Amino acid sequence: MSKCPADFNFFDESVLNCPYEFYRTLQEQAPVYQLPGTDIFMVTRHADVKKLLKDTATFSNNFTHLLKGPEPAPEVTAIYARAWQPVDTMITADPPRHKTYRTLVNKVFSASRVNAMEDYMKAIVHELIDSFIDRGECDFIREFTTPLPVYVIADQLGVPRRDLAEFKRWSDSFARRLSQMATPEEQVEDAKNIVAFQFYFAEMIEERRSHPRDDIISDLVVTQIEDPDSGAVRPLDMEELQSILQQLMVAGNETTTSAITGGMLSLAQNPQQMKALQDDSGKIGNAVEEILRMESPSAGMWRVVKKDTEFNGVKIPRNALLMLRYHAANRDQQLFDQPNAICVDRENADDHIAFGQGIHFCPGAMLARKEMNVAFTALLSRLDNIQLVQEKCDLTYWPNIVLRGLKELHIRFDRRAV
């Protein structure tokens, strides 16, 4: 007997770990589905998600209130009160306010800047591979996919390497806060980490005001913007800088870590696909798009409904929430043949929406693609017979509604003959 949507609990870790049957059930039976007992409507078809992403007048990105959780404990509220409060800049801003900050960040991640980083990225990738290649085995997340994007975004921000352990801890807390699944104890820990992040970067911001360098923080500090409310030309204030930096930090490393990790898992489980890339490195660019489609590390994104509306015959009330499920849309069988199978030669792999769509298309997409291309080119040229260390891999994912990433991935390999 086939299942119906009510047979699944989206918030259950088993469903978050392996959601594909749930996705297909929704796409076939209830493409706009109200999760039972909530005001959340999940949208899973590719065409529908793309359409809704373009309607910013009805479906708002201003979901800042969600980050606080339903009822934050007094201790959590008191910790956050010690630092700067959230303001809406990029991911939680709607037009016309959004344009002010997005234009600024687009300049920071210009094509020329990203392309100029390729040799620098190669040096990091090969340094990381050198650190484990002689052992024939590695903890792939801890030794490769975490440090690579952390090094890149931290270096671009101007964070010293000695502070990277803290940098990663702060980023993880932001990601877990976004998940809406933290325990009360984790909420306290996250609040302390996020406030520590703010004071650390506040000190760095003030230092850059006096002594600018060639880094992103200096670029942001010296830039003048047109105030989205008054129209006056002014520098970014501390709240705006904190908001932008935290978004760059999380988007600049968490998602890339998850995408490279998930891509390696898929290739290790499909050795013929891996061999195709080793035989022809020219296919790696398309393989990166296929990995982004398959893994969709930004698994979904929120929208707040601004007025009573109806979509695909489903009435959605004002103030309800949409969960636009990129991870499901990128495995929609109406667009992708055999959507749950990796195919590095897939002709329409780049039809994915792993980076979103429209005005909120991820500004770091070019940087992420560059890192992934450099990483897989180096890994597949230097490692051979890559396999999972089965006894160390339970292949579970962090419990997170918005972001999707494996907890651990251990691989063994041979050194590839040159």
Tell me which residue of 147, 199, 192 sits closest to 174, measured CA to CA. Answer: 192
Query: Per the domain annotation, does 318 fall within a domain?
Result: no
- Residue 195 domain-assigned? yes
Determine contact, residues 369/307, Cβ cutoff 8 Å. Answer: no
Strands (E), 262-408: 301-305, 309-311, 314-316, 321-324, 383-388
> Is 275 inside a domain boundary?
yes
The dihedral built from the CA positions of residue 137, 143, 145 and 149, taken in this order, carries a sign that is negative
Determine the Cα–Cα distance for residues 297 and 259; give it in Å rounded to an integer: 6
Q: What is the pLDDT of residue 67?
A: 63
Cα 391 to Cα 139, 287, 410, distances in angstroms: 13, 28, 9
- In a domain? residue 7: no
Nearest to 305 by CA among 289, 290, 322: 322
Host H or E run for residue 410: strand 410-415
- Burial (CB count within 10 angstroms: exposed 0-12, middle 13-18, buried 19+), residue 389: middle
pLDDT for 46: 98
Q: Which residues contact 313 (CB under 8 A, 6 or more apart)?
A: 32
Q: Is residue 260 in some structural domain?
A: yes
At 172, which CATH number?
Answer: 1.10.630.10
383 close to 416: Cβ distance less than 8 angstroms: yes
Sole residue written with tokens 């960040």: 105
Q: How far apart are CA 164 and CA 147, in angstroms?
A: 9
Distance in angstroms (rounded) separating the CA atoms of residues 13 and 9: 9
Domain assignment of residue 175, yes or no: yes
Exposure on the CB side of residue 291, measured as CA atoms within 13 A: 30
How much is the pTM?
0.94
What is the DSSP code (8-state) at residue 358?
G
Is there a domain that residue 132 lies in?
A: yes
Written as six digits, the tokens of 167 are 């940098």
Report the 10 Å Cβ neighbour count for 217.
Answer: 24
What is the extent of the structural domain holding 158? 61-298+354-415
Residues in the chain predicted with pLDDT less than 70, given as ranges, are 1, 66-71
**Domains identified in the chain, total number:** 1
39, 43, 6: which is closest to 301 by C-alpha? 43
In a domain, 4, yes or no: no
Burial (0-12, 13-18, 19+ Cβ within 10 Å), 206: exposed
Give the per-residue pLDDT at 197: 94
The whole-angstrom separation of Cα 417 and Cα 405 is 32
Model pLDDT, residue 91: 86
Cα 279 from Cα 133, distance rounded (Å): 21
pLDDT in the model for residue 66: 66
